[in-house]
């Protein structure tokens, strides 16, 4: 199976009051053709920064290092012109904020066909025809009318469908979806996830799905990378993550999912405490302050990402103790 995306040692630093701090620290993962990888973690863990760094949409002041190979080409080394040709054509992206991600002063139709016309030499009529077809594919009723409407006339769910149409219309090989359903109602969430699953299957698109919701991961993903405070802390097949959970942070996220069959509400346990801020990263394991199993060693030494079984890695000293 060929790799569409291969990230190696990606780090991102921001300048805060004159000093550089890591928001993303030595992150590595890959996505195979046609595969869906879930990037999971609480808010503030560096998921969005990771995805924006890949497509070079962070402010110029951000310091990025490492490699991000897209079909073998390092995105971080490409010229701006080469990036313009990749964005929107080979890599599509959907954001968390459907209400503000469309331009308020242009019609839906022109915002979709713009993406086509930026990358293909086609006539106005042809662009319009293809945009209409794409609106139908993303499940929008009355597409002819919607083409002539403005974003403020559409609901959040509809706008996210339009964003998906924009991201998918050039049939990209990779779709990055950054919390695509977080801002939507629960019923709409399920519809949008269904739509993304079906489209990425039909278009044979690889998907990097960013979310803080392990429920979404269970439904959508083949593999999962769990991120905490700028690092990957556990990575593996979706079944291993759910049924052979290794890292206490992943376990914490799992405990926090509401389960319908649980009568006793006390079983729903959110992780106590907060993600540490960039400027105050603990010296040892970054999760130690919130971890129920933390040992002295965890507070002193930062654990490496260890291979605990085939295709399953975890960054926890508990595994080291077992080995020794």
Partner 1 sequence: MIKYIIRRILESIPTVIGVTIISFVLIHIVPGNPVRIMLGNHYTPLRAAELTKTLGLNKPVWEQYFIWLGNLLQGNFGFSYTYEKPVASLMLQALPHTIIIVVVAVLLAHVFAVFLGSVQAYFENSKFDQIATVINYFFYSMPSFWLAVLLVIFFSIDLPWLPSGGIVNTQLSNPGFGDWAKHLILPIATLFLVSVAGWARYMRSSMREALLQDYVRTARMKGSREFRVIFIHALRNSILPLITLFGLSLPALLSGALFVEEVFNYPGMGLLYWDAVNARDYPIIMGVTVFVGLVTVIGNLIADILYGLVDPRIQY
Q: Is 44 in the site for ligand ADP (CB under 6 A)?
A: yes
**Binding span for ligand ADP by CB under 6 A among 1-9, 39-47, 265-273, 288-296:** 39-47
Q: Say how many residues make up the chain.
A: 324
Q: Is 24 in the site for partner 1 (CB under 8 A)?
A: no
Shortest spacing between CB 114 and partner 1, in angstroms: 6
Task: Using the minimum distance from each CB to ligand ADP, give the nearer residue, 108 or 226.
Answer: 226
Task: Using the minimum distance from each CB to partner 1, give the nearer residue, 149 or 219.
Answer: 149
Plot region of 120 (φ>0 → left; ψ -120 to 50 → alpha; else → beta): beta
Residues 147 and 109: beta-carbon distance below 8 Å: yes
- Residue 152's binding partner out of Mg ion, ligand ADP, partner 1, none, with CB under 5 to 8 Å set by partner kind: partner 1
Task: Using the minimum distance from each CB to Mg ion, give the nearer residue, 48 or 160.
Answer: 48
Q: Is 73 in the site for partner 1 (CB under 8 A)?
A: no
Q: Is 59 in the site for ligand ADP (CB under 6 A)?
A: yes
Among 22, 47, 87, 161, binds ligand ADP (CB under 6 A): 47
Task: Using the minimum distance from each CB to partner 1, give the nearer residue, 114 or 219.
Answer: 114
Q: Is 103 in the site for partner 1 (CB under 8 A)?
A: yes
Q: Which residues bind partner 1 (CB under 8 A)?
A: 55, 57, 84-89, 92-93, 95, 97, 100-107, 114-115, 118-119, 150, 152, 163, 166-167
């Amino acid at each position: 199976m060929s790799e569409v995306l291969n990230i190696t040692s990606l780090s991102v630093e921001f300048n805060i009051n004159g000093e550089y701090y890591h928001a993303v620290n030595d992150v590595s993962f890959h996505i195979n053709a046609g595969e869906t990888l879930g990037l999971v973690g609480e808010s503030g863990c560096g998921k969005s920064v990771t995805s924006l760094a890949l497509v070079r949409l962070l402010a110029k002041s951000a310091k990025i290092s490492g490699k991000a190979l897209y079909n073998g080409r390092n995105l971080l080394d490409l010229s701006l012109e080469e990036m313009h040709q990749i964005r929107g054509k080979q890599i599509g992206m959907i954001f968390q904020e459907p209400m503000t991600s469309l331009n308020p002063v242009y019609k839906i139709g022109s915002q979709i066909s713009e993406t086509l016309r930026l990358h293909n030499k086609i006539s106005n009529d042809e662009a319009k025809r293809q945009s209409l077809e794409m609106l139908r594919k993303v499940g929008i009723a009355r597409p002819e009318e919607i083409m002539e409407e403005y974003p403020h006339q559409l609901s959040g769910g509809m706008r996210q469908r339009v964003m998906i149409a924009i991201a998918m219309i050039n049939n990209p090989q990779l779709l990055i979806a950054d919390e695509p359903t977080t801002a939507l109602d629960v019923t709409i969430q399920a519809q949008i996830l269904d739509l993304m699953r079906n489209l990425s299957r039909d278009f044979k698109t690889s998907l990097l799905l960013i979310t803080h919701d392990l429920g979404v991961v269970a439904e959508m993903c083949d593999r999962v990378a769990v991120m905490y405070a700028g690092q990957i802390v556990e990575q593996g097949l979706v079944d291993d993550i759910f049924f052979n959970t290794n890292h206490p942070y992943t376990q914490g996220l799992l405990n926090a999912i509401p389960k319908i069959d649980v009568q006793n509400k006390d079983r729903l346990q959110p992780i106590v405490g907060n993600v540490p801020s960039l400027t105050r990263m603990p010296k040892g394991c970054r999760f130690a302050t919130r971890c129920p199993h933390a040992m002295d060693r965890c507070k002193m030494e930062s654990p490496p990402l260890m291979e605990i079984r085939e295709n399953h890695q975890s960054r926890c000293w508990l595994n080291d103790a077992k080995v020794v």
